[in-house]
């Protein structure tokens, strides 16, 4: 079991910046893929960015060039630096973790570190509000 705690959310004006943090504890060493997701009121949850143990990152098109996901392995913390924020970025932001290698029926399988993967561990979320 992995515990994830997000922080850093808040209210900013359009064009502003925020940095979200996600502190992991528990059995986090088995979780080598971390992701940030968001959900706006009345909308489905969407994946924003992922980072794997090698530092490879992926982003959805709407945040490319504005958001940066990074990690500090010594602190077991993942960050999401958000610049040039827009009102449409307003949402609850969640951190999630998954192991890309898993054991099932005596065999090891690999899964992709991407927002389309099923993440089993989630934080409680932190609210980001961007005003125009």
- What is residue 84's predicted lDDT score, i.e. its pLDDT? 98
**Which SS3 state, helix, strand or coil, does residue 91 take?**
strand
Residues 74-93: pLDDT tens digits? 999 999 999 999 999 999 99
* Residue 110 CB neighbour total at 10 angstroms: 9
Pairing of strands 2-7, 18-26: antiparallel
- What is residue 29's predicted lDDT score, i.e. its pLDDT? 67
Query: At residue 40, does pLDDT exceed 90?
Result: yes
Which residues is 4 bridged to in the sheet?
Answer: 24
């Amino acid at each position: 079991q992995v515990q994830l705690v997000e922080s850093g959310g808040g209210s900013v004006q359009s064009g502003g910046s925020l940095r979200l943090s996600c502190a992991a504890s528990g059995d986090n060493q088995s979780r080598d893929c971390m992701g940030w997701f968001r959900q706006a009121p009345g909308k489905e949850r969407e994946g924003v960015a992922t980072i794997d143990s090698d530092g490879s990152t992926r982003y959805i098109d709407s945040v490319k060039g504005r958001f940066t996901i990074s990690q500090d392995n010594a602190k077991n913390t993942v960050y999401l630096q958000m610049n040039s924020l827009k009102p449409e970025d307003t949402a609850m932001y969640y951190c999630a973790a998954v192991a890309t290698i898993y054991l099932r029926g005596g065999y090891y399988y690999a899964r992709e570190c991407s927002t389309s993967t099923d993440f089993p561990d989630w934080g409680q979320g932190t609210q980001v509000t961007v005003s125009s």
